[in-house]
Amino acid sequence: MAERVIPLVDQRLAALRASVPAQPVAATGLVADTLGRELRDLRISVTDRCNFRCSYCMPKEVFDKNYQYLPHASLLSFEEITRLARQFLAHGVRKIRLTGGEPLLRKNLEILVDQLSQLRTVEGTPPELTLTTNGSLLTRKAQALKDAGLKRVTVSLDGLDDAVFRRMNDVDFPVAEVLEGIAAAREAGLGPVKVNMVVKRGTNDHEILPMARHFKGSGIVLRFIEYMDVGATNGWRMDEVMPSSEVRARIASEFPLVQLDAAAPGETAERWGYVDGEGEVGFISSVTQAFCGDCNRARLSTEGKLYLCLFASNGYDLRELLRGGASDEQLASAIGHIWQGRDDRYSELRSTLPADASAGVRRVEMSYIGG
């Protein structure tokens, strides 16, 4: 087995300048990039902190007690996040997902949820407001989030075996408490709840069928995610990726499946239903089956950098404009101009890139920008 090398990099140090273009880009509710992909989905990271140390995201050997997180003054305030979100909605965004880090670590997050729920899309409807969480704090926060206007949650859960789960989160957190959080979310009405399982060959792939058995017929949508080469700290290797086709075959050996239509354009998960009608499972295959062609997602970091791809190296600094006195029209014009220049499609190109193409490249970390 090859030695695991974890480069120490900090993608937060570099940023691309976000400028107001000389030729304004009006917010008409429709803006497309160089490949014709429209902007429809905004993912907002509200913190770079997490209380788990999953090896594929925030390995303990990097994110230890000496790791320097962003100072509070660097983070966008709730009012700043809401103001930026309003400009994205004016360009056609319909869905906002709050993420992290672990977003529930951000104090008084329900205040932000309430502010965002007051916004309106160009169609005059509230945005679809969702949140991704590890579930550790969900039991105590679910009802307040629902009351504030959150629509649904996605919970990350990489196995049901308690020993495996504790080993993967690397902070000895019990799986039972995550399951309690899922139950609390359902009781609060934050549904349909989705559960995401990152499958890492040789680590938790034996948990695929137990997870399918557990959630089948529950009303919860279980989704399997290929272990991805996001960032530079997780020691990613292709031989640890289990292709979705293999995961699907393993499930189908016990529970016959039939493919379902996509729920919405640009959806990341391929949907499959149980033949007996007892729910569905999803497969997110960004390594073996790229979905760059219709990717409609922008990502805003916790301190205001706009990233155009999960695998990007740098983001555009919107905070500088925001705190420098830019008007709403100028902010919207800058966002539209950045999106119009977007040509990212890393997942499609991955297999054609030279083996050393990523050497020295600082790609954004999952813990910093969210999934």
Would you say 43 is a known binding-site residue? yes
Would you say 29 is a known binding-site residue? no
Task: Give the separation between CA 150 and CA 153, rounded to whole angstroms.
Answer: 8
Mutual angle of helices 78-90 and 328-340, in 10-degree steps: 60
Would you say 316 is a known binding-site residue? no
Task: Give the separation between CA 199 and CA 205, rounded to whole angstroms.
Answer: 6
Task: Give the separation between CA 256 and CA 207, rounded to whole angstroms.
Answer: 18
Would you say 242 is a known binding-site residue? no
Q: How many CA atoms lie within 13 A of 240 on its CB side?
A: 18
Non-local CB neighbours of 116 within 8 Å, separated by 6+ positions = 81, 82, 85, 96, 127, 129, 149
Name residue 254's amino acid.
E
Helix (H) or strand (E) holding 349: helix 346-349
Would you say 271 is a known binding-site residue? no
Non-local CB neighbours of 252 within 8 Å, separated by 6+ positions = none
Would you say 54 is a known binding-site residue? yes
Q: Is the CB of residue 222 less than 8 Å from the CB of residue 282?
A: yes
Task: Give the separation between CA 131 and CA 113, rounded to whole angstroms.
Answer: 10
Task: Give the separation between CA 23 and CA 237, rounded to whole angstroms.
Answer: 44
Would you say 299 is a known binding-site residue? yes
Would you say 50 is a known binding-site residue? yes
Would you say 101 is a known binding-site residue? yes
Pairing of strands 16-17, 316-317: parallel
Would you say 55 is a known binding-site residue? no
Would you say 194 is a known binding-site residue? yes
Residue 140, Cβ density class (10 Å: 0-12 exposed, 13-18 middle, ≥19 buried):
exposed
Pairing of strands 152-156, 194-199: parallel
30-35-41-46 Cα dihedral, nearest 10 degrees? -120
Output Rg (C-alpha) for the chain, integer angstroms: 20
Would you say 181 is a known binding-site residue? no
Would you say 359 is a known binding-site residue? no
**Which residues contribute to the annotated binding site?**
43, 50, 54, 56-57, 97, 101, 132, 156, 194, 228, 292, 295, 297-299, 309
**Which residues contribute to the annotated binding site for GTP?**
43, 97, 132, 194, 297-299
**Which residues contribute to the annotated binding site for [4Fe-4S] cluster?**
50, 54, 57, 292, 295, 309
**Which residues contribute to the annotated binding site for S-adenosyl-L-methionine?**
56, 101, 156, 228
